[in-house]
Structure 1
């Protein structure tokens, strides 16, 4: 089924494959319905996780969306307590690096440590904790695993960020809404060599702003199944409707 997304969505454009790529590539390119913007691959430095340079992350746990996108990796975060079943299923299924959410406002302490250890055992490329996650728990996780620890942040406050770094965080994930690129730049000014990934926003301009500000990788939110089916059903109604 071919999906034609809304014209204002960057998910609607297909990546161009050059003549030389077609000529020398051994495997036939697989066209995915949801293709990431070319500016990410061209302009991002890349975030090194387990010796792999990753530039694009899909923010999703939906297996259909994971299967039908070409992002480098998956950011598996959801507003519920972390689940071993979900962690194992996504790692086994995705065929690409997974960063697993292990804690935030609801989950902390022993449960988060257990989930971090389990994620490492299952083959995750990193774990991520949300803004409210306490530094004392980050320190305990750091003592137990060798995986990169990513912390979502919404502020460039020096003391707050330094506390995260001292606790063992190795990457900041900036999710500041319309202020994301500004926060990225401020963090880079304070911690020039510290790796940053950032939420991309809804258009190419916001993605480019985050890259220009110093983000090494971009997190993309996919369209919902509802939006995808909306465009498909509108086409079907026009074609087959009475």
Structure 2
């Protein structure tokens, strides 16, 4: 059956490939857009240059994707079990969430230290996280610290950098690419990664705005199964 992909073409393709199309042979079921590997400069975390991050803690999705790294962030307090399991399981770099609005202070510091001990490639903190807590983590942990931001306010970003942040992850909804462009103008050379949006055009615009890496949000298992089950039902 011919389907309209969100890239604007009509082609027999899987649900995932409607989101993340590649023109070369696919080794994994969930493939990332070729434009990322070709056009992104990449972020150097440890000794690896990373261009694509899968935003997921789902082991089935992690196992079946070809992104360079995993962004392990979830709307609950950080868990040592999750941190260890994902790092052991993934077989690729993992950036672990250690704090935001719910988790901060001593707990976040403990999780950051634990993530480093377990072999994480970086840690990430969310928008409400306080600079004083970033400073405490920076004193104890050598991992790159990524901070999610949704603004290009100069003073806010400058304070983040002075606290010890190494990379900005821009997640500004429809304003993401505008924010990326403004940050790269205000802080030339400072590493920025961005949420990739829902289309190749969004991803291309993020790269052109100055994003060195793209964060990809995969479809849920529910959505993947819906496509499969619709096909199976049509068979009978």
**Above 0.5 in TM-score?**
yes
Q: Aligned partners of 2:204 and 2:14: how far apart in 1?
A: 24
Q: Aligned partners of 1:238 and 1:152: how far apart in 2?
A: 43
Offset of residue 235 of structure 1 = 0.6
- In structure 1, the partner of 2:73 is 77
- In structure 1, the partner of 2:158 is 162
Number of residue-to-residue matches in the alignment: 224
3-state SS of the aligned residue for 1:75? strand
2:6 pairs with 1:10:
no
Normalising by structure 2, report the TM-score.
Answer: 0.93
Offset of residue 6 of structure 1 = 7.0
Q: Is the 8 A contact 1:6 1:231 kept in 2?
A: no
- In structure 2, the partner of 1:47 is 43
* Pairs within 5 Å for 1:30-69: 31-69=27-65
Q: Aligned partners of 2:142 and 2:14: how far apart in 1?
A: 42
Q: Aligned partners of 1:151 and 1:15: how far apart in 2?
A: 33
Q: Is the 8 A contact 2:16 2:30 kept in 1?
A: no
3-state SS of the aligned residue for 1:201? coil
Q: Aligned partners of 1:86 and 1:228: how far apart in 2?
A: 23
Normalising by structure 1, report the TM-score.
Answer: 0.90
3-state SS of the aligned residue for 1:70? coil
Q: Cα 1:35–1:144, aligned 2, differ >3 Å: closer, same or farther?
A: same
Q: Aligned partners of 1:14 and 1:39: how far apart in 2?
A: 8
CA shift digits 1:210-238 (9 cap, x unpaired): 10010000000000111100110011001
RMSD: 1.2
Offset of residue 10 of structure 1 = 2.4
Q: Is the 8 A contact 1:34 1:68 kept in 2?
A: yes
Q: Aligned partners of 1:59 and 1:154: how far apart in 2?
A: 17
Q: Aligned partners of 1:4 and 1:235: how far apart in 2?
A: 11
- In structure 2, the partner of 1:23 is none
Q: Aligned partners of 2:157 and 2:16: how far apart in 1?
A: 38
Q: Is the 8 A contact 1:15 1:35 kept in 2?
A: no
- For structure 2, which runs of at least 5 residues remain unmatched after alignment? 1-12
- In structure 1, the partner of 2:92 is 96
3-state SS of the aligned residue for 2:15? coil
Offset of residue 51 of structure 1 = 1.5
Q: Aligned partners of 2:52 and 2:39: how far apart in 1?
A: 11
4+ runs deviating over 4 angstroms: none
- For structure 1, which runs of at least 5 residues remain unmatched after alignment? 18-29
Offset of residue 31 of structure 1 = 1.3
Q: Aligned partners of 2:71 and 2:16: how far apart in 1?
A: 24
- In structure 1, the partner of 2:228 is 232
Offset of residue 5 of structure 1 = 1.1
* Pairs within 5 Å for 1:202-241: 202-239=198-235, 241=236
3-state SS of the aligned residue for 1:140? helix
Q: Aligned partners of 2:16 and 2:90: how far apart in 1?
A: 26
